[in-house]
Structure 1
Amino acid sequence: MELARIQEALRERGIDGWLLCDFRNRDYLAYRVLGLDFEKLSSRRWYYYVPARGNPKKLVSAVEEHRLDALPGDARVYLSWKELHAGLKRLLGAKKRVAMQYSPLNNVPYVAMVDAGTVELVKRLGHKLVSSADLVQIFVALIDEAGYRTHKEAAAAMDRIRAEAFARIGEAIRTG
């Protein structure tokens, strides 16, 4: 996870923090951003809050309390849904602008990973939700130099194949 870069991106956008969460491996974007193993099943909900400034915080189930041990930050453990709600309230603190894998009106369904109940809960706690789409684009969707080279090679191959295909079509039309 690129904590310093994430926090810088949050500050640049005027976002107080990014709440990444998952249940049963629904949000592959969160795993990519955090560098977690997506193949390892999470059977309980977990939350990871990256503030624009300061240390990240974790909220994990007592059943899988070590799920986020690879990440920096202090962890709180919940067992019941009441403890989860109280823990999430403590995790987020005062009213804030919080980024989540949420898409207003589902305009960008690729980032709409958070379920409606979690969205309702965070809003009920008094926070303003913003989409993490721009953040996801920075930390997941950008390609590196090797990826760029691969795209250029593929584009050249596609152009060559297109030219050869049209040459064959032209030849077939001319010769009947």
Structure 2
Amino acid sequence: MLTPELLPRLQQLLADADLDGWLLYDFRGTNAIAAGLLGFEGLCSRRVFAFVPREGLPIGIAHAIEPGPWAHWPKAWPLRIYSGWRALEAEVAALVGGKRVAMEYSPGDAIPYLDRVPAGVLELVRGAGATVVSSGELVSQVYATWTPSQLASHERAATHIAAIAYETIQHAGSMVAAGTPAAEHELQARILEAFARAGLETDHGPDVAASENAANPHYAPSAATPRLVQRGDVLLVDLWARETGGGVYADQTWMASLGAPSDRVVTIWEAVRDARDAALALLSTRIAAGLPVRGGEADDAARAVIEARGFGPHFWHRTGHSIDSRELHGSGPQIDNLESRDDRRLIPGVGFSIEPGVYLPGELGVRSEVNAYVGDDALLVTPTTPQRTLFVV
């Protein structure tokens, strides 16, 4: 959240980028980045702006009927009030006219996770005489990065999740061996119970998918359409959670075979595993050497492995998503050069998933997912021991 303590660092970043300021805008939650930085809570049904200048105090623009969302706005910082559109546009023009400002804007919608400001608002701001540039690097540095305590929280959650995934897979195998196979949604419920015992919370999921259902990357098991996990199945377990009360999410995917896997399954698994490791190797080497690296480059490295193994057309999604301090699917740099053109640098303090996959509709899906955090001179990967071979139960 934007605070007096954060302000000097942010203003130095603005100076380094030769920006006159950062203009934050939100309307009914269209810009989660702005709302998160401003610490908004409760009803916010009118347009709001806040301008963080390179020098001086930030200035907010609030609607007269909604002071509530500004509860965390420091009293020493100016807060201008409007009720009509003429007054709003005049206030915006007075703040940014003739200035070079950053906004949550991505030219050509190249990075949709960042592109949060409507075209009409950009027209309004440019019409006031401002030059608008993307706030992408600012978002990475002041919104997406983790604190040391948040990193520690993530590591604890990752340890719990890895153990819960392993126990779930072993239970699925035990149920098959006993002749009473469990359904996907029953294994899902078991994971949620384990989360509660471990002091973890999640907003939805997890995903437990057998064979053909695993070919849908966004599959959700349901008691309404139960699917038993049986001998001969490939089992995908994708689970994500954070410590109760607001820790940073950990997000992992584990793979198992109910009985000895076929050569085809092993071949696909090894392609996915090696793609994961290729992305991690690129990132680790660059970061250790102090060289810049971008998420799109890691995506290319993973994708090259899967394409070389003959499964390129079946790797449908980005290699990884940002995990920021607020959201599982965050607004920081993505590991993506497929769905979007994310050219933001992976800077110290940001975290993300690495999760290549191969999906064969009607047959099976295979994915392996770990998380990574960029340290000052090294890449931290969770869980500490990524899956190397298929679990056979």
Shift of 1:74: 1.0
Of structures 1 and 2, the larger Rg is shown by 2
2: CA distance, partners of 1:18 / 1:98: 5
**Unaligned segments of structure 2, at least 5 residues:** 156-371, 373-379
Aligned partner of 2:105 among 88, 102, 105: 102
Task: Say yes or no: does 1:156 pair with 2:367.
Answer: no
Aligned partner of 1:12 among 3, 16, 38: 16
The structure-2 alpha-carbon separation of the partners of 1:147 and 1:74, relative to structure 1 and needing over 3 Å to count, comes to closer
TM-score normalized by structure 2?
A: 0.39
**Unaligned segments of structure 1, at least 5 residues:** 170-176
2: CA distance, partners of 1:10 / 1:68: 23
The residue number in structure 2 matching 1:118 is 121
- Partner amino acid for 1:108? I
The structure-2 alpha-carbon separation of the partners of 1:100 and 1:153, relative to structure 1 and needing over 3 Å to count, comes to closer
Shift of 1:80: 1.3
Shift of 1:25: 1.5
Secondary structure of 2:102's counterpart equals strand
Shift of 1:120: 0.5
The residue number in structure 1 matching 2:147 is 144
Secondary structure of 1:110's counterpart equals coil
The residue number in structure 1 matching 2:84 is 80
1: CA distance, partners of 2:109 / 2:36: 21
1:69-124 C-alpha deviation (Å, 9 max, x unpaired): 422321221111111111111232x4011100111111111111111111110011
2: CA distance, partners of 1:153 / 1:108: 25
Query: Does the 8 A contact of 2:102 with 2:132 survive in 1?
Result: yes
Question: Which structure is richer in relative contact order (CA contacts within 8 A, separation 6 or more)?
Answer: 1
Aligned length: 162
RMSD: 2.1
Question: When you count helix as a share of all residues, which structure comes out higher?
Answer: 1
2: CA distance, partners of 1:41 / 1:29: 16
Aligned partner of 1:47 among 9, 33, 49: 49
Query: Does the 8 A contact of 1:59 with 1:91 survive in 2?
Result: no
Shift of 1:66: 4.7
More off after superposition, 137-146 vs 51-60? 137-146
TM-score normalized by structure 1?
A: 0.82
Query: Does the 8 A contact of 1:95 with 1:126 survive in 2?
Result: yes
Shift of 1:5: 1.2
